[in-house]
């Protein structure tokens, strides 16, 4: 990751205001130490070449789960870059020595390697009896720093439940790398993203396809099978964008929910697709959404360009981008144009001189400087004489998945440093709120981490125990959900815990107990929508709610 240090520096410069002073800022780069993981495709030991795609699926799933557990994983693109840099083919299966070389190339602390085999069903092979075939998975963790290979980690599942087997292995890997990792296996198994095996196969084959035609067809097939498949929608939209089908790309990318973890990348490309279709208002909206979550300079810049194309003033956005990354000539060039439009010819000239200091061969900047030098003070760009040169702000068209994930990772670490300085009760309240937000988005492992941090800060937090109860309920662990809800109610009567118990009792065919809990919840919050809805459900089943 050649751009790692630059990404850290740029991001910290832009979001330092969200951290708690210089101490938190200084800790953020150190948070990356020992947390960078490279997952390699698993080897196919089934003897069936038609199942090779499964090996390519492990990095995709394991990366998602390990990211949710607080690790920074190496993206598919960065892995391919390392292969190319080392002169290795894309389908190369490395030896241990080569694995270490690849890990060093991408600055990984750990490498995950593994293999799988498939036991055919009784009806005559995997192809004929997929439903009864079983996959056996083995994985090992290579510590690059210690040059030590872990013992084998194993799991298995029906082939149709491949996603469960991968999530289970991911949980074991997280626990092996970090002995203090406290996430539950059940939460990993309940994590979102599971789709029917045929759609998952089309998606994996699509993102690893050798040609754009096959890539497009496979991803379209995946979306046809599962229309709300966020990962497939993102990749399909990116492929449509690459093939210059901008309207199609915009329509596809707009279907990725903004609550999904992939929404940032989807909206960056949505912004570009809209921009290329001259839908500048739509582009600005998409870029603003991304910048609101991760204000990286390239995103802030693009928001400014989209604003400028609508005849509005983007100078402040360009100023933010150039302050975040003073070494990028494009941001200074864009700011120069925006200031020129304002009539600030002196300021515009300073910015274009800065751009030329960074890149003396920039012909457009040279022409802009010449035009500014001839312009009278206060002249606006639109009022300047026609010289045959009409400068336009430059948009950034490349999305760095690694850069964005590094930024998100660092923001989490910086926020943790800020929270560590709060009183325990306040810290627990903030962690609980973040946990609820993750839970509302279906991000169960991320929510679990927040609730655990809340309880570590304040073990007697009724709200944190209630949040954990909701999480356990969502992950299908009814017994632990009930325990957490009861613990929460001992500390403080609250609607969230009461409704967890009410739903559990209704599922266990105890409508009387459920009705009592709903009644208690409505006494606390008469207008609570969830309690009212549950009351109606009980009444439909003939149960009176006191």
Block residue for tokens 């095996």: 197
Q: What span, in angstroms and rounded, lies between the C-alpha atoms of 145 and 327?
A: 33
Q: How many residues comprise the chain?
A: 546
Give domain status of residue 64, yes or no: yes
Q: What span, in angstroms and rounded, lies between the C-alpha atoms of 315 and 83?
A: 41
Strand, coil or helix: what is 35? coil
Q: What percent of the chain has pLDDT over 90?
A: 71
Q: What span, in angstroms and rounded, lies between the C-alpha atoms of 267 and 376?
A: 41
Structure confidence at residue 161 as a pLDDT band (50, 70, 90): very high
What is the bridge-based pairing of β-strands 72-73 and 36-39?
A: parallel
Quote the pLDDT of residue 415. 81
Residue at which a domain ends, from 164, 188, 212? 188
Tell me, what CATH number does 170's domain have?
A: 3.40.50.10610
Give domain status of residue 452, yes or no: yes
Give domain status of residue 120, yes or no: yes
Number of domains the chain contains: 2
Q: What span, in angstroms and rounded, lies between the C-alpha atoms of 275 and 279?
A: 6
Q: What span, in angstroms and rounded, lies between the C-alpha atoms of 248 and 487?
A: 51
Structure confidence at residue 399 as a pLDDT band (50, 70, 90): confident
Q: Is 513's pLDDT higher than 60?
A: yes
Q: What span, in angstroms and rounded, lies between the C-alpha atoms of 24 and 70?
A: 18
Phi/psi-derived region of residue 296, left when phi > 0, alpha when psi is between -120 and 50, beta in every other case: beta
Q: What span, in angstroms and rounded, lies between the C-alpha atoms of 252 and 258?
A: 13
Quote the pLDDT of residue 401. 67
Residue at which a domain ends, from 134, 166, 188? 188
Give domain status of residue 300, yes or no: no
List of E strands, 407-492: none
Q: Is 21's pLDDT higher than 70?
A: no
pTM attached to this predicted model: 0.83
What is the bridge-based pairing of β-strands 110-119 and 36-39?
A: parallel
Strand, coil or helix: what is 91? coil
Q: In angstroms, what CA-CA distances link 438 with 62, 68, 73, 287, 446? A: 19, 11, 20, 22, 6
Task: Count CB-CB contacts under 10 A for residue 33.
Answer: 9
Beta bridge partners of 153: 139
In this predicted model, which residue has the larger pLDDT, 23 or 376? 376
List of E strands, 448-540: none
**Highest mean pLDDT of the ranges 103-112, 131-140, 225-234, 537-546:** 225-234
Tell me, what CATH number does 475's domain have?
A: 1.25.40.10
Helix (H) or strand (E) holding 181: none
Residues 14, 273, 367, 371, Cα dihedral to 10°: -80
Give domain status of residue 383, yes or no: no
Give domain status of residue 203, yes or no: no
Answer for the pair 271, 306: CB distance below 8 angstroms, yes or no.
yes
Structure confidence at residue 200 as a pLDDT band (50, 70, 90): very high
What domain range includes position 78? 33-188
Q: What span, in angstroms and rounded, lies between the C-alpha atoms of 531 and 263?
A: 31
Quote the pLDDT of residue 546. 85
Q: Is the dihedral of CA 228, 231, 236, 241 positive or negative?
A: positive
Q: What span, in angstroms and rounded, lies between the C-alpha atoms of 314 and 179?
A: 49
Task: Count CB-CB contacts under 10 A for residue 146.
Answer: 9
Helices (H), 261-296: 263-276, 280-293
Residue at which a domain ends, from 188, 216, 231? 188
**Highest mean pLDDT of the ranges 218-227, 261-270, 411-420, 435-444:** 218-227
CA-based nearest residue to 413, from 40, 31, 6, 75? 31
Answer for the pair 517, 498: CB distance below 8 angstroms, yes or no.
yes
Q: What is the mean pLDDT of residues 392-406?
A: 80
Give domain status of residue 66, yes or no: yes
Interval 319-366: pLDDT, tens: 999 999 999 999 999 999 999 999 999 999 999 999 999 999 999 999
CA-based nearest residue to 163, from 46, 41, 62, 53? 62
Interval 295-315: pLDDT, tens: 889 999 999 999 999 999 999
Strand, coil or helix: what is 360? coil
Instruction: Spell out the residues 6+ positions from residue 255 whose beta carbon is closer than 8 angstroms to its own.
Output: 227, 228, 233
Strand, coil or helix: what is 30? helix
Structure confidence at residue 16 as a pLDDT band (50, 70, 90): very low
Answer for the pair 365, 359: CB distance below 8 angstroms, yes or no.
yes
Q: What span, in angstroms and rounded, lies between the C-alpha atoms of 182 and 71?
A: 14
Give domain status of residue 152, yes or no: yes
């Amino acid at each position: 990751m050649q751009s790692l240090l630059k990404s850290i520096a740029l991001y910290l410069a832009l979001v330092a205001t969200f951290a708690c002073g210089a101490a938190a800022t200084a800790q953020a780069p150190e948070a990356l130490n020992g947390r960078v993981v490279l997952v390699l495709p698993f080897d196919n030991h089934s003897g069936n070449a038609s199942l090779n795609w499964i090996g390519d699926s492990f990095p995709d799933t394991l990366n998602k789960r390990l990211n949710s557990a607080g690790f920074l994983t190496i993206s598919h693109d960065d892995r391919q870059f390392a292969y190319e840099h080392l002169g290795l083919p894309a389908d190369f299966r490395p030896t241990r020595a080569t694995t270490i070389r690849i890990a060093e190339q991408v600055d990984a602390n750990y490498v995950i390697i593994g293999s799988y085999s498939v036991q055919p069903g009784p009806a005559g092979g995997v192809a004929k009896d997929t439903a009864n075939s079983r996959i056996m998975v083995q994985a090992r963790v290579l510590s690059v720093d210690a040059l030590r290979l872990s013992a084998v980690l194993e799991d298995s599942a029906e082939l149709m439940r491949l996603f469960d087997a991968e999530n289970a292995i991911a949980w074991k890997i997280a626990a092996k790398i970090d002995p203090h990792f406290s996430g539950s296996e059940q939460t990993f198994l309940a994590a979102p993203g599971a789709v029917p095996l045929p759609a998952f196969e089309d998606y994996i084959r699509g993102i690893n396809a050798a040609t754009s035609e096959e890539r497009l067809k496979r991803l379209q097939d995946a979306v046809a099978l599962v229309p709300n498949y966020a990962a497939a929608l993102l990749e399909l939209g990116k492929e449509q964008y690459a093939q210059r089908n901008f309207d199609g790309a915009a329509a596809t990318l707009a279907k990725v929910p903004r609550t999904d973890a992939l929404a940032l990348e989807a909206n960056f490309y949505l912004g570009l697709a809209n921009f290329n279709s001259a839908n500048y208002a739509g582009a600005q909206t998409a870029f603003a959404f991304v910048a609101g979550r991760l204000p990286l300079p390239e995103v802030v810049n693009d928001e400014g360009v989209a604003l400028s194309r609508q005849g509005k003033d983007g100078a402040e956005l360009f100023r933010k981008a150039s302050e975040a990354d003073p070494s990028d000539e494009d941001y200074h060039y864009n700011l120069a144009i925006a200031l020129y439009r304002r009539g600030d010819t002196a300021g515009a000239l300073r910015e274009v001189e800065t751009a030329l200091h960074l890149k003396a061969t920039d012909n457009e900047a040279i022409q802009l400087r010449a035009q500014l030098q001839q312009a009278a003070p206060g002249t606006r760009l639109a009022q300047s004489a026609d010289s045959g040169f009409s400068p336009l702000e430059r948009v950034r068209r490349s999305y760095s998945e690694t850069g964005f994930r590094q930024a998100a990772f660092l923001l989490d670490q910086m926020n943790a440093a800020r929270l560590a300085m709060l009183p325990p009760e306040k810290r627990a309240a903030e962690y609980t709120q973040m946990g609820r937000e993750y839970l509302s988005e279906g991000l169960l492992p991320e929510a679990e981490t927040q609730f655990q941090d809340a309880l570590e800060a304040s073990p007697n937090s009724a709200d944190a125990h209630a949040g954990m109860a909701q999480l356990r309920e969502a992950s299908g662990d009814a017994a632990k959900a009930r325990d957490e809800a009861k613990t929460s109610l001992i500390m403080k009567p609250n609607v969230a815990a009461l409704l967890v118990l009410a739903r559990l009792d209704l599922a266990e065919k105890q409508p009387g107990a459920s009705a009592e809990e709903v009644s208690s919840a409505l006494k606390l919050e008469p207008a609570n929508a969830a309690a009212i809805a549950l009351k109606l459900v009980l009444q439909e089943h003939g149960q009176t709610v006191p």
